[in-house]
Amino acid sequence: MASVIILKSPSQIVIMKEANQIVAQTLSMLRDYIKPGVTTLELDKLAEKFARSKGSVPAFKGYRGFPGSLCVSLNEQVVHGIPSKKVVLKEGDILSIDFGVKYKGFFGDAAVTLPVGKIDSAAEKLLNVTRGSLFNGIEQVRVGNRVSDISQAVQNYVEQAGYSVVRQFVGHGIGQSLHEPPEVPNYNRNERSAKLLPGMVIAIEPMVNAGGYEVKVLRDGWTVVTSDKSLSAHFEHSVAVTEDGPLILSYGTES
């Protein structure tokens, strides 16, 4: 990534909110379809059709060769799972769905992990902690803070619950490109990080493992899984830095 952080004007942030609301509406729509017997390819097709009906284009499809519109990651899969007619949801699974669109020249990006039917208490706790860590990080999106304040807030919340944050993959700036500077790690790298300025827009996305933080990429070149096969959850919002505090552009993906 280049190191130049691109600040957005108020009118550009309005467009980015529109883009992110399409993402939020898509993820909300998918909730009704996430049930035992459904394939992840069916979800992918639903998401693409819905996004296009709103005048947007799926952001991930074709990105660096990714074949789907949705990233659908099941149980021990962390991120970047490929939609497939062979992957059928089962009662008790947890499914992370990450979705992005391009709309009027700007990108939106958000993710949520959802239960398939009834899940056990351990999986429920993982989802709650991961969601909580996201909002703990968002609380730090204040003018004058640094990216590392977000990272530290996420890490503290997760580790106090006895879980670990994935270190190999990070959040990112977002705007007219899907991935822009700065990187937004979910742990403190103990290095000087970018100061938060009005007009910055960042995608904060904790990836939290029930076991260790180590991950590996499967032979398909995309799907990331926990090395110890422990469950993983992923939540993400695109957030603008404003003088009044954090503005969650993709709000609506959370219940």
Split into its structural domains, the chain has a count of 1
For each of the chain's 255 residues, which pLDDT tens digit applies? Answer: 447 999 999 999 999 999 999 999 999 999 999 999 999 999 999 999 999 999 999 999 999 999 999 999 999 999 999 999 999 999 999 999 999 999 999 999 999 999 999 999 999 999 999 999 999 999 999 999 999 999 999 999 999 999 999 999 999 999 999 999 999 999 999 999 999 999 999 999 999 999 999 999 999 999 999 999 999 999 999 999 999 999 999 998 453
**Is residue 1 situated within a structural domain?**
no
**Is residue 180 situated within a structural domain?**
yes
The b/e string for 86-110 (b: 16+ C-beta within 10 A; e otherwise) is ebebeeebbbbbbbbbbbeebbbbb
**Is residue 2 situated within a structural domain?**
no
- Can you tell me whether residue 209 is helix, strand or coil? strand
* CA distances to 65, 77, 173, 200, 205 from 3, in Å: 24, 30, 11, 13, 20
Question: pTM for the complete prediction?
Answer: 0.96
pLDDT at position 252 is 81
- Structural domain that includes position 216: 10-248
Backbone φ and ψ for 129, nearest 5 degrees, come out as -70, -40
Backbone φ and ψ for 172, nearest 5 degrees, come out as -165, 160
pLDDT at position 255 is 38
**Is residue 108 situated within a structural domain?**
yes
**Is residue 191 situated within a structural domain?**
yes
**Is residue 171 situated within a structural domain?**
yes
What CATH number did the domain enclosing 243 receive?
A: 3.90.230.10
The alpha-helical segments, DSSP class H, found in the chain are 10-31, 40-53, 121-138, 147-160
Contact 99, 23 (CB under 8 A): yes
Angle between helices 10-31 and 40-53 (to 10 degrees): 140
**Is residue 4 situated within a structural domain?**
no
**Is residue 253 situated within a structural domain?**
no
d(CA 125, CA 249): 26
